[in-house]
């Protein structure tokens, strides 16, 4: 697992972000962590994401334009199982 680079078309410098500044694409095995000020919906538009949400006993695999509701004020960790793009609505 890496915690250092963004997908090549988006530059570099991956780390912890607020919800509005979360990168939109990440490379295989990269991690992104963030928490949100309000409930949002995560959609994986390309690739496959492993999603872990603080205090949720389940983890989620998200791909193929699938969506997942993300609660406010919970730390969320995304790991790309392959190069992946996503958005927060």
For 8-88, the fitting CATH number among 3.90.220.20, 2.60.120.10, 1.10.443.10, 3.10.20.30 is: 2.60.120.10
Q: What pLDDT, in 10s, does the model give residues 61-88?
A: 999 889 999 999 999 999 999 999 999 8
Q: What is the domain partition of the chain in residue ranges?
A: 8-88
Look-up of token digits 């410098």: 13
What would the pLDDT profile of 26-61 be if each residue is shown by its tens digit?
999 999 998 888 999 999 999 999 999 999 999 999
Q: Are 51 and 74 in contact (CB under 8 A)?
A: no
Taking the alpha carbons at both ends of the chain, their separation in whole angstroms is 26
Tell me how far apart the alpha carbons of residues 46 and 54 are, in angstroms, rounded to a whole number. Answer: 24
Edge to edge, the sheet with strand 76-80 lists 16-18, 31-35, 76-80, 48-53, 59-63
């Amino acid at each position: 697992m890496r915690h250092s680079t963004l997908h090549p078309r988006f530059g570099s410098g991956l780390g912890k972000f607020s919800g509005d500044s979360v990168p939109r694409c990440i490379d295989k095995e990269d991690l992104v962590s963030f928490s949100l000020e309000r409930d949002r919906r995560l959609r994986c538009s390309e690739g496959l994401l492993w999603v872990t949400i603080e205090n949720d006993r389940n983890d989620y695999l998200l791909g193929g334009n699938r969506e997942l509701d993300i609660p406010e004020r919970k730390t969320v960790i995304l790991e790309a199982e392959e190069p992946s793009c996503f958005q927060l609505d």
